[in-house]
Amino acid sequence: MNTNDKRERILTAAIDLFYEVGLDNGSIADIAEKAQVAKGTVYLYFSSKEQLIEAAFWQCHRHDVEACQAGLDRIESAIGKLERRMENVVRWALNNPKEIRMERMYFSSPKFGQGSRYQQQFLQFEPVDTIIRQGIARGEIKDLPSSLLGEMFFGIGAAALNYVVDVPDALEDENFWRACRESVAGCLKPL
Please give the residue ranges that form the binding site for DNA (CB under 7 A). 1, 3, 6, 25-30, 37-44, 48-50
Examine residue 149 and tell whether it contacts its own copies (CB under 8 A).
yes
Examine residue 169 and tell whether it contacts its own copies (CB under 8 A).
no
If the CB atoms of residues 111 and 181 are measured against DNA, the closer one turns out to be 111
Q: What binding mask, one character per residue, do residues 79-108 give for its own copies by CB under 8 A, x or -?
A: ----------------------x--xx-xx
Least Å distance, CB 104 to its own copies, is 4
Examine residue 20 and tell whether it contacts its own copies (CB under 8 A).
yes
If the CB atoms of residues 49 and 63 are measured against DNA, the closer one turns out to be 49
Residue 8's binding partner among its own copies, DNA, none (Cβ under 5 to 8 angstroms by kind) is none
If the CB atoms of residues 45 and 153 are measured against DNA, the closer one turns out to be 45
If the CB atoms of residues 40 and 113 are measured against its own copies, the closer one turns out to be 113
If the CB atoms of residues 55 and 185 are measured against its own copies, the closer one turns out to be 185
C-alpha–C-alpha distance, residues 92 and 86, integer Å: 10
End-to-end CA separation in angstroms for the chain:
58
**What are the distances in angstroms from CA 154 to CA 23, 26, 35, 44, 100?**
23, 29, 33, 37, 14
Question: What is the residue-wise DSSP string for the chain?
Answer: --HHHHHHHHHHHHHHHHHHH-TTT--HHHHHHHTTS-HHHHHHH-SSHHHHHHHHHHHHHHHHHHHHTTTGGG--SHHHHHHHHHHHHHHHHHH-HHHHHHHHHHHHSTTS-SS-TTTS--TTHHHHHHHHHHHHHTTSS-SS-HHHHHHHHHHHHHHHHHHHHH-GGGGG-HHHHHHHHHHHHHHHS--
Examine residue 119 and tell whether it contacts its own copies (CB under 8 A).
yes
Residue 67's binding partner among its own copies, DNA, none (Cβ under 5 to 8 angstroms by kind) is none
Query: Which residue ranges make up the site for its own copies (CB under 8 A)?
Result: 19-25, 101, 104-105, 107-111, 116-119, 142, 144-145, 147-149, 151-160, 162-163, 165-167, 170, 175-176, 179, 182-183, 185-187, 189, 191
